[in-house]
Amino acid sequence: MSGTLAWNRYGKSRVRLVKVRRAADPHQIVDLTLDVQLEGAFEAVYADGDNAACLATDTMKNTVYAFARRDPIDHVEAFASRLADHFAAKPAVSRARVSAIEHKWDRLSAGGRPHPHAFVQSGGEHWTAVVTRDGGGASIVSGVANLVVLKTTDSAFSGFPRDEYTTLPEARDRILATSVTATWTYRPGTTDFSGRDRIRTALVETFAAHVSRSVQHTLYAMGEAALGACADAADITLTMPNRHHLLVDLSPFGLDNPNEVFVVTDQPFGLIEATLTRG
């Protein structure tokens, strides 16, 4: 019995790259983790052990570092696009996919002033970018992940259907907490990727100000605000797990609990997701 190769992809994963822009004053730092993945006519590599068309994954890694030396990496999307163009032009390659995670660093302060060359990494929030290049052109999807936000009021969940299995009490004033993952697709031909900062600002400001009737309700408002903040974003997908904060019953101890003491539960959790496109 012989097999047929129906699909294949290979590449180099978790390429770690830090670039310091020393010419800038103060210094600037870019911290990336990149994946390079290729698809194409590599049947002979798999079936026959013929590596004539197999670009070494070590070469992919070295290419990332060489491009980083010449590229200012002002926007990770543009850097990933140049890498994708390079790899897509290699023999036998039909599709090149470059994905990147940008790890966030904030400038430290010393003596009440921002320090010119010292940084701190707090929390797990990071930027993402995925560039896919094939014969039909390029697709660029950017995002932000692990954006943890919480509000202590202006959040409710009531009026939902009840049946014999419903035990959840209605809540008209509750904590709303989530870890936002957002990804948006840039319209074809976009070259200015500064919109991501405006999108993040729209997401967090809308979360803070929105009077929420549910996580879904706030997700929709955040998505609308994000699209309004960046004309080059064709759509946006939001994933918002509900980080539940449950009111503790203190009555066994003869104490009341006027919406002040909560227990945080990790699992199970509600998971709310949606994609908004321009109408």
244 is catalytic: yes
Q: What are phi and psi of 97, to 5 degrees?
A: -125, 120
Determine contact, residues 276/220, Cβ cutoff 8 Å: yes
Q: Are 98 and 36 in contact (CB under 8 A)?
A: yes
Q: What is the C-alpha to C-alpha distance for residues 5 and 209, in angstroms, rounded to an integer?
A: 53
Helix crossing, 195-209 with 215-229: angle to 10°? 150
Is 12 annotated as catalytic? yes
Per the annotation, the verdict on 27 as an active-site residue is: no
Q: How many residues does the chain have?
A: 279
- Nearest of 236, 22, 79 to residue 143 by alpha carbon: 236
Exactly one of 27, 33, 57, 217 is catalytic; which is it? Answer: 57
- Rounded CA-CA distance 58/56 in Å is 5
User: In whole angstroms, how large is the CA radius of gyration of the chain?
Assistant: 24
Q: In 3-state terms, what secondary structure has residue 277?
A: strand
* DSSP per-residue string spanning 61-111: HHHHHHHHHH---SSHHHHHHHHHHHHHTSTTEEEEEEEEEEE--EEEEET
Q: Which of 61, 86, 210, 244 is catalytic?
A: 244
Task: Report the C-alpha gap between 77 and 192 in whole angstroms.
Answer: 9
Catalytic (active-site) positions? 12, 57, 244
